[in-house]
Amino acid sequence: MRRALMILAASGSMAALPACEHNAATGRNQFILMSWDQEIALGSEAMSGLSSEYGGRVSDSGLNNYVEVLGQHLASFTTEQVPEGLPWEFTLLDSDVVNAFALPGGKVFFSRGLAEQLTDEAQMALVLGHEIGHVTARHGAERISHALAVQGIMIGAAVAAGASEDDSWIGQALPLVVGLAGQGYLLKFNRDQEAEADRLGLRYMVEAGYDPAAIFDVMNVLAAATKGGLPPEFLSTHPHPETRIEQGRRLIASEYAFTQNNPRYMRQKYRYERDFLDRAALLPPPPDRQTRINLAEPSTWCWHCAGGGE
């Protein structure tokens, strides 16, 4: 992939690179320059650094297992949309930052700070489903592909100057993922991608038997965290909570109307309190208990990346 990209970039023929793929999760065609194997390799490479940036994995194995089991259950509904054996991994980070994010290839992170703001399992399922949606929709690969295309002429110039084509392509793409202090290009999806991940998250949680009305509670958590400091939506890279709530309301009133007042679609409040919140309350404070969220720039929210702008 990288050899073809550099050669075509050097010749000014980026448009000739076959990169339009149909996505089984979203039903739309995408400009993608990466294979699934490359996404998996990139996510694995970036995982350690991003985990460390957010305090590392929570020490309590029971809490980690709670997130892992729920995440794997939700991911089981994506088998028709991703390669067989995609190495999904779900990590609970020991961080106070209200945050969740996904790397290419199935690496999903959920902060303790966000988990402790939630009140039932359906809310956690919604957030995990949203991040799974970023993976199945290949939003990271999509953004990286556009970035590489923009940089194509510069890459081609490097080849012409004699740069080695044997250098790892991961070294070229990794800065797009990690960036400065974990606030990388990849983690800042645009409004259309966020709305798409919301729709996929709702789909996966409903398939798993959860009440999609949990979206209203999670968006209230988001709104409370920003404390009304949002810029006008047309200036923001991400939809306002109110816009996302409205999309959820439309879907619940139509596509998912059958879930409402239906005991088959659960919230699991008691189980979340007993098995997660009560156990988390026994942990020592996270290492980043000091304020790290920059509420003056809340537009980077996915569920995640509160702090810094795109």
Q: Mean pLDDT throughout 144-156?
A: 63
Ordered by start, the domain boundaries in the chain are 2-282
What local confidence, expressed as pLDDT, does residue 237 receive? 56
Write out the E strands in 52-161: 89-93, 100-103, 107-111
Q: Mean pLDDT throughout 124-143?
A: 95
Residue 17 has pLDDT above 70, yes or no: no
Average pLDDT value for the chain: 79
What local confidence, expressed as pLDDT, does residue 293 receive? 40
pLDDT band at 176 (very low <50, low <70, confident <90, very high): low
For residues 229 and 240, the model is more confident at: 240
For residues 302 and 222, the model is more confident at: 222
β-strand partners of 91: 109
SS3 21: strand
Q: Mean pLDDT throughout 252-257?
A: 97
Over the stretch 44-91, which tens digit does the pLDDT of each residue have? 888 888 888 888 999 999 999 999 999 999 999 999 999 999 999 999
Phi and psi dihedrals of 89, rounded to 5?
-145, 135
